[in-house]
Chain A
Amino acid sequence: MSDQSHSAGETGPSQRGVEIAVALATLAFGIIILIGSLQVGIDWGFEGPKSGFFPFYVSLFIIVASLYNLLQATTLGGIKPGLFASVDQLKRVLSVVVPATIYVALVPFIGMYVSSILLIAVFMMWLGKYSLLHTLPIALGVPAVVYVVFERYFQIALPKGPIEYWLGL
């Protein structure tokens, strides 16, 4: 999947660069865990090992292994050459990530239902180039089925926004 060859001339972030970034990120994560475990104590208390005992050693593993990965990516050269992904590919990925992120951000404000309708509609019309006539039944139908299944049948309240409140749902 990921080891697809890229034709020459394509541009995009290099595999190496991304590997370095990931190694740095895991290193930072390890340090955060290290700090967090030191905060709650890593020695033995009256109830056995303290809360930070276990995460402390975990963080050491992360830090050491991340440093090794960083070395691999920078000097040891254990990274396959080439691009992480081409610009075209990244654009396609972002065309999912961006609407999905907006969707996730909207849920607390306008509720699960309205935002779901918007997501499906945007996706189908923008990426799938479907007409409004094809889009609407699915965009409205899916949330409607979800409503019946979750709210009516399983009695699980999903997040709702002003529109649902106004409709009295």
Chain B
Amino acid sequence: MMSQTTRIAFGALAAVGVAGVLTPQPAQAQWQPSRPIEFIVPAGTGGGADQMARTIQGIVTKYNLTKTPMVVINKAGGAGGEGFLDVKASRNNPHKIIITLSNLFTTPLATGIPFNWKDLTPVAMLALDEFVLWVNAETPYKSVKDYVAAIKNAPPGQFKMGGTGSRQEDQIITVAIEKSTGVKFTYIPFRGGGEVAVQLVGNHVNSTVNNPIEAVAQWRGGKVRPLCVFDDAVLPYKETIVDNLSWASIPTCISQGLNLDYLMLRGIFMSPGATPEQVNYYVELFKKVRETPEWKKLMADGAFNQSFMVGDEYAKWVAKEEQRHRDLMKEAGFLAK
């Protein structure tokens, strides 16, 4: 074993050597990717996370933001567990990043696969996705109160809530609504948000908690009606969507007596063992992405909550969210045995 001093001496020598070769660079040589960056999507092609990842890939390509190409890879198996385990196994590979959604928490909790977000290196929160309570536009329910009253008057389980996946965000919200109002839904899981929205339009389910981007087209077409948004403040997007209504005109669920706010993480993690320089490279990259008009358009179209966090703040937020999911899922009986 080398003694402490020799190691320092070696380090200094090496540093001098490196600096000598690459002098034009500023003193702390910045890390740069040397191979293609693999961008893992723990969800199928065509979904919200995939769409965001491919938009980022397009932006990165269009504006030449990285030296090496960025390649999007879908690993959707096991509710995204396949993707998370893959990144977890890529210790010290700084060319692998992953975009996450709520399945970062829900998948390991519901299935018991050996994974926790702490296995990865947090990079940045890109945005938060909103959830809105929707009903079919032909139904008479104009407010949460009307709707809850109607459910209470029907036998329990008569009203059907459609959602994406099982024991994931949509069902967690459904269970939380039940807890908050004392009603009972029959939750029916489907494969994707678009399908859920169409089931609502076809009157095969009574309500959904679709993300804005999944249901906006049906809203504009006058087929569905938003009742409330699961955020603690109304959305800032004031552009008219239909009949003088905008995202900003949807009241918060809290103000409607549904005491619940829920946002879904759209964030970036990278493989374990990454150095601060490597994390910093990606943080700077995503800061640049966020400045582009394409990104801003995506944010406005999907009525995203544009919170951006990095470093400790981000890690703390994720830790808090994990605890919250654990509590919510425990109450609902969704934890893996």
Contacts and interface: CB of A to CB of B under 8 A. Distances in A.
Does A touch B (CB under 8 Å) in the complex?
Answer: yes
Contact of B38 (A46, A47, A157, A168): A157
A142 B252 CA distance: 59
B69 A47 contact: no
Interface residues of B, number: 10
Interface string A148-169: 0000000111000000000010
Contacts of B71: 155-157
Contacts of B34: 168
B175 to A, nearest CB: 11
B166 A155 contact: no
A36 to B, nearest CB: 15
A47 B36 contact: no
Interface string B52-75: 000000000000000001010100
B187 interface: yes
Interface residues of A, number: 6
A120 B38 CA distance: 29
A157 B73 contact: yes
Contact of A155 (B35, B36, B187, B333): B36
Contacts of A155: 36, 69, 71
Contacts of A157: 36, 38, 71, 73
B174 to A, nearest CB: 11
Contacts of B333: 46
Contacts of B38: 157
Interface residues of chain B: helix, strand, loop or mixed (majority): loop
Contacts of A156: 71
B88 to A, nearest CB: 17
Interface in B26-85: 34-36, 38, 69, 71, 73
B176 to A, nearest CB: 16
Nearest to B38: A157
B34 to A, nearest CB: 8
Nearest to A45: B333
Contacts of B166: 47
A133 to B, nearest CB: 35
A65 to B, nearest CB: 29
Contacts of B73: 157
A47 B187 CA distance: 8
Interface in A1-28: none
Nearest to B61: A155
Nearest to A152: B69
Contacts of B187: 47
Contacts of A168: 34-35
A117 B34 CA distance: 26
Contacts of A47: 166, 187
A47 B166 CA distance: 9
13 contacts: A46-B333, A47-B166, A47-B187, A155-B36, A155-B69, A155-B71, A156-B71, A157-B36, A157-B38, A157-B71, A157-B73, A168-B34, A168-B35
Interface of A: 46-47, 155-157, 168
Interface of B: 34-36, 38, 69, 71, 73, 166, 187, 333
5 closest residue pairs by CB, A with B? A155-B71, A157-B71, A155-B69, A157-B36, A157-B38
Given A157-B36, A168-B35, 11 more contacts: A46-B333, A47-B166, A47-B187, A155-B36, A155-B69, A155-B71, A156-B71, A157-B38, A157-B71, A157-B73, A168-B34
